[in-house]
């Protein structure tokens, strides 16, 4: 049973393990009816128009209009490709895992219809290497779909071909960046490419390529089935539709919940996820994965939508909320966050490679009590020098939350520096004012 605050479209019937099979997908939710209808009776432009009119925004993080992205692909006889980005690696995000694990055929049908919109003959699901169980589930589902004639040559007798390959990565967050994903899929080290040219013009193997997130593509069959107006009936004007939100950290019921976008954050965190553990309060939360600037409890009454999160100086990102309760030390959380990006930086661009490295070193000094409050200003200026200066936004993804934490919780950073410095000052026989000075 869904929670009363949930609106289940993508996760409909998801509690039934039979949904994983082709038979169950057809029986429980009328699966593959829409692919059949689209392949038999719809033109490429009709599908594109429906997707564009729906206002569906990418669910991977950037929030760009999916229909518009698909319409950027040039027309012509050249080989075109579709890539499903299933390299979900952002700390806090685990919705794609749930969607693939519980309803793999919904994704396959979405890919088949999106391939019609993009006129792609080859599609790939790039799944992160750690998701071995989900890759097995997808492999089995793809095999079933081939067997039943929904993939392969001359699909449903409609003279259209589509090959779908499940490509398992091998552990690198950077491969979630679309151009790094293309390099990894081409069998190289996953380094991002310079944009432009954008993948829609020159992507995989140099051909026009449409890249979409798992959740975005899973929405496609529903939009084509029910129409753009139905889809716009959920969510807000600028953020239509439902969204699977991953809530984790200091809450009583962490997990994935599907909501109509625009629900107040308080309802999401308290109503669905149960709020913080008894006796504790929320101190801060990331509204859209670890790369989003943290928000404070004062912002709990904002609606959860792309536009409201942007206005609050943060972002909805992949829709992953990590709650920090009053037991969490913000400087330590900043260090954890920075360490992740330092580890995952591919090293291609100097601002990111060096910036993440020095940010970690400086934050380590902070928590060891070897820093001075002036170091906090240096940390902030390093973040400013990373943002916008690299081929991709991995560096920015560290710079944004770390800056926000230093700005919003500066008192706590200063207190941590002071407290951690005290014992060292005593041991070294230094003047007692050392920790508090400057």
Partner 1 sequence: MSPVDGAGIFNPNLPVDQAVSEGRAPARSEQEIPELHEVDCPPELKERIEALMAKYPDRRSASIPALWAVQERYGWCTPDGIRQAAAVMRFTPAYLESVASFYDLLHTDPVGTHRVEVCTNISCWMRGGDELLDAFEAAGEGQDIFITGFECLGACDIAPMASIDQRYYGPLEAAEAQTAIEQLLAGQEVLPEKALLKRPLAAELPGGGS
Collect contacts of 64-73 with beta carbons under 8 A, ≥24 apart.
66/212, 66/216, 66/219, 67/117, 69/200, 69/210, 69/212, 70/114, 70/117, 70/118, 70/210, 72/198, 72/200, 72/201, 73/118, 73/119, 73/200, 73/201, 73/208, 73/209, 73/210
Q: Which is nearer to partner 1, 132 or 436 (CB)?
A: 132
Site membership for partner 1, residue 169 (CB under 8 A):
yes
Window 6-65: residues binding partner 1 (CB under 8 A): 6, 11, 14-15
Number of neighbouring beta carbons within 10 Å of residue 188:
10
CB of 11 to partner 1, least distance (A): 7
Q: Residue 104, interface with partner 1 (CB under 8 A)?
A: no
Q: What's the angle, vertex CA 73, arms to CA 124 and CA 103, rounded to 5?
A: 35
342-343-346 Cα angle (round to 5): 85
DSSP string, 71-100: HTSPPSSS--EEEEEE---STT--HHHHHH
Coil, strand or helix at 127: strand
In this complex, which beta carbon is closest to partner 1, that of residue 34 or of residue 125?
125
For residues 390 and 400, the answer to whether their CB atoms sit within 8 Å is: no
DSSP class of residue 283 equals E
Considering the complex, state which of residue 255 and residue 373 has its C-beta at the smaller distance from partner 1. Answer: 255
Note whether 110 binds partner 1 by CB under 8 A: no
DSSP letters, 207-244, are S-EEEEEHHHHHHHHHHHHH-HHHHHTSB-SSSBSEEE
Stretch that binds partner 1, among 149-157, 194-202, 244-252, 355-363 (CB under 8 A): 244-252
Q: Which is nearer to partner 1, 50 or 88 (CB)?
A: 88
∠ CA 318-324-329, nearest 5°, is: 125
Contacting partner 1 (CB under 8 A), which of 74, 171, 233, 423?
A: 171
Of 42-50, 150-158, 255-263, 308-316, which part binds partner 1 (CB under 8 A)? 255-263
Report yes or no: 164 and 124 within 8 Å, Cβ to Cβ.
yes
Which residue, 254 or 264, is less far from partner 1 as judged by CB?
254
73-102 residues near partner 1, rule: CB under 8 A: 79, 88-94, 96-98, 101-102
Residue 248 within binding range of partner 1, rule CB under 8 A: yes
Which of 99, 108, 185, 417 binds partner 1 (CB under 8 A)? It is: 185
For residues 201 to 220, the per-residue mask of contacts with partner 1, x marking binding by CB under 8 A and - elsewhere, is ----x---------------
Among residues 88 and 178, whose Cβ is nearest to partner 1?
88
The Cα–Cα gap between 27 and 397 comes to 42
Question: Nearest approach, Cβ of 8 to partner 1 (angstroms)?
Answer: 9
| Residue placing its CB nearer to partner 1 in the complex, 108 or 333 | 333
Q: Exactly one of 107, 333, 349, 393 binds partner 1 (CB under 8 A); which one?
A: 333
Tokens of 124: 């790939």
Binding to partner 1 (CB under 8 A): which residues in 126-165? 128-133, 165
Stretch of 2-10, 145-153, 391-399, 402-410 lying at the interface with partner 1 (CB under 8 A): 2-10
Contacts of 248 (CB under 8 A, 6+ apart): 92, 94, 254, 255, 320, 321, 322, 323
Q: How far is the CB of 93 from partner 1 (least distance, A)?
A: 7
The residue within the footprint of partner 1, chosen from 290, 292, 305, 403 (CB under 8 A), is 290
Residue 275 in the binding site for partner 1 (CB under 8 A): no
Phi, psi of 303 (to 5 degrees): -75, 145
Q: Looking at residues 369 to 428 of the shown chain, list those that interact with partner 1 (rule: CB under 8 A).
A: none
**Interaction residues for partner 1, span 296-325 (CB under 8 A):** 320, 322, 324-325
């Amino acid at each position: 049973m869904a929670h009363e605050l949930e609106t289940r479209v993508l996760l409909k019937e998801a509690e039934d393990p039979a949904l994983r099979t082709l038979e169950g997908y057809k029986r429980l939710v009328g699966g593959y009816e829409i692919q059949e209808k689209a392949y038999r009776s719809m033109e490429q432009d009709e599908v594109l128009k429906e997707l564009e009119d729906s206002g569906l925004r990418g669910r991977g993080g950037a929030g760009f209009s999916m229909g518009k992205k698909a319409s950027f692909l040039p027309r012509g006889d050249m080989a075109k490709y579709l890539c499903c980005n299933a390299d979900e690696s952002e700390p806090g995000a685990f919705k794609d895992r749930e969607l693939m694990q519980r309803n793999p055929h919904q994704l396959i049908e979405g890919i088949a219809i999106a391939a019609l919109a993009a006129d792609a003959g080859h599609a790939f699901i790039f799944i992160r290497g750690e998701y071995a169980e989900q890759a097995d589930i997808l492999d089995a589902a793809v095999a079933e779909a081939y067997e039943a004639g929904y993939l392969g040559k001359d699909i449903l007798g409609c003279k259209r071909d589509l090959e779908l390959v499940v490509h398992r990565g091998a552990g690198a967050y950077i491969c979630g960046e679309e151009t790094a994903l293309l390099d990894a899929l081409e069998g190289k080290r996953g380094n991002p490419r310079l944009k432009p040219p954008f993948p829609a013009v020159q992507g995989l193997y140099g051909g026009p390529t449409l890249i979409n997130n798992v959740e975005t593509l899973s929405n496609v069959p529903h939009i084509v089935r029910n129409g753009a107006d139905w889809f716009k009936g959920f969510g807000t004007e600028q953020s239509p539709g439902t969204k699977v939100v991953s809530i984790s950290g200091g809450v009583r019921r962490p997990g994935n919940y599907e909501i109509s976008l625009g629900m107040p954050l308080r309802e999401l965190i308290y109503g669905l996820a149960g709020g913080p553990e008894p006796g504790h309060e929320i101190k801060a939360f990331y509204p859209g994965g670890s790369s989003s600037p943290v928000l404070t409890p004062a912002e709990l009454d904002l609606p959860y939508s792309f536009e409201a999160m942007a206005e609050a100086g943060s972002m909805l990102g992949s829709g992953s909320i990590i709650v920090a309760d009053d037991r969490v030390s913000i400087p330590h959380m900043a260090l954890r966050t920075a360490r992740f990006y330092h580890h995952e930086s591919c090293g291609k661009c100097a601002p990111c490679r060096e910036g993440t490295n020095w940010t970690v070193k400086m934050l380590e000094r902070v928590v060891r009590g070897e820093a001075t409050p002036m170091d906090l200003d240096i940390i902030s200026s390093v973040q400013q020098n990373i943002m916008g200066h690299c081929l991709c936004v991995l560096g920015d993804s560290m710079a944004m939350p770390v800056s926000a934490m230093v700005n919003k919780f500066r008192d706590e950073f200063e207190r941590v520096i002071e407290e951690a410095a005290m014992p060292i000052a005593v041991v070294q026989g230094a003047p007692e004012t050392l920790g508090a000075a400057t």
